[in-house]
Amino acid sequence: MAYGPQLRELRARPRLVIGTPGRIKDHLDRGTLQLSQFNLVVFDEVDRMLDMGFVADVRLLLEHVAPIRQSFYFSATMDARVDALIRTFSPHAELVTVKTNDTSENVHQDVIRFSGKADKEGKLHDLLIHPDTEKAIIFEATQRGVERLEKELGLRGFKVASIHGGKSQAKRAHALASFKRGDVNILVATDVAARGLDVTDISHVINYTQPQTYDDYIHRIGRSGRAGRIGYALTFVES
């Protein structure tokens, strides 16, 4: 996003600053943000930050905030890398978990078997026209795959939008707003949408291409079955 509005807001000396590690580091380098007086720090999706190579930025930010502080590290998964980073800066951290199962009991999971491209497209079409499919997010592996599938579904008459890392922030925000409002009821996305996407009425998560890891699968299907609703997670598997 543009620096101008952020610079104006930072000059007002806000008590709360929210940002990605990279952008906050940019402001530190520019001298437009001083973190020495900040005594509470929250890292959301810290496991994803490490996956995306932000570990050096995370360490830098922790070095700049007040030495006497309260720190929170939120993560859907806890592995040795995440634990090691946390223990480096918060050696006496306490682990609080609200997870009872890897997947929510509100999400009904199944597979859709297909043989060949035409069969796969046909079964997706049949799934999307089913009355139970009210609002769906479809995960594709690549940006090119997202664009191709969005175009194909649009030609078939579906109301569809897409988001992926190759689109500008403005275009992603517009697509997500249209999806939330219900202007479109199908969102095609890469894993950029698997985390942090808060849309409570998604009825179906469709793994049109399979996720690379089990953790990715958990994050994807967690977009459905929210706020006490029943959701469905369907994974296409070639047979």
**CATH number where 76 lies:** 3.40.50.300
69/164 same-domain check: no
Judge whether 81 and 45 are in contact, CB under 8 Å. no
123/230 same-domain check: yes
Residue 144 clears pLDDT 90, i.e. is over it: yes
75/129 same-domain check: no
117/210 same-domain check: yes
Domain count across the chain: 2
Residues above pLDDT 90, as percent of the chain: 55
pLDDT (0 to 100) of residue 70 = 93
H helix count then E strand count, the chain: 9, 8
pTM of the model: 0.63
Q: What is the pLDDT of residues 35-63, one digit of tens each?
A: 999 999 999 888 777 767 777 888 888 88
Q: Is residue 11 classed exposed, middle or buried when 0-12, 13-18 and 19+ CB atoms within 10 A define those classes?
A: exposed
Residue 228 clears pLDDT 90, i.e. is over it: no
Residue 230 clears pLDDT 90, i.e. is over it: no
Predicted confidence band of residue 87 (pLDDT cuts 50, 70, 90): confident
Predicted confidence band of residue 10 (pLDDT cuts 50, 70, 90): very high
